[in-house]
Amino acid sequence: MLRFFISALMVMWVLGSNAQEKPIDLNKKDTVTYKQSYGLRVGADLSRPLISFLEENYTGLEVVADYRLTQKLYLAGELGNEKKTIGVPLGSTIEDISGDLYDFTASGSYLKLGIDYNTYGNWYGEQNMIYIGGRYAFSTFSQTLNNYKIFNTDRYWSTDDFTPGSEQIGEFGSLNASWLEFVVGIKAELFKNLYLGTSARLGFLVTNKDPDNFKNLFIPGFNKVTDGSRFGVGYNYSISYLIPLYKKANSPADKKPVPVEK
Q: pLDDT (tens digit, 9 = 90+) per residue, 219-234?
A: 999 998 988 889 999 9
Q: Can you tell me the distance from the alpha carbon of 120 to that of 97, in angstroms, rounded to the nearest whole number?
A: 47
Q: How confident is the model at residue 72 (pLDDT cuts 50, 70, 90)?
A: very high
CA distances from residue 104 to 51, 58, 124, 216 in whole angstroms, order as listed: 19, 12, 52, 10
Q: Can you tell me the distance from the alpha carbon of 136 to that of 63, in angstroms, rounded to the nearest whole number?
A: 16
Residues 6+ apart with CB under 8 A from 21: none
**Cβ(152)–Cβ(225) below 8 Å:** no
pLDDT of residue 255: 47
Q: pLDDT (tens digit, 9 = 90+) per residue, 117-159?
A: 999 988 777 789 999 999 999 999 998 887 666 555 555 555 5
Ordered by where they begin, the domains of the chain are: 35-247 (2.40.160.20)
132 versus 246: the higher-pLDDT residue is 132
Q: How confident is the model at residue 37 (pLDDT cuts 50, 70, 90)?
A: confident
Q: pLDDT (tens digit, 9 = 90+) per residue, 148-199?
A: 665 555 555 555 555 554 556 668 888 999 999 999 999 999 999 999 999 9
Rg of the chain (C-alpha set): 32
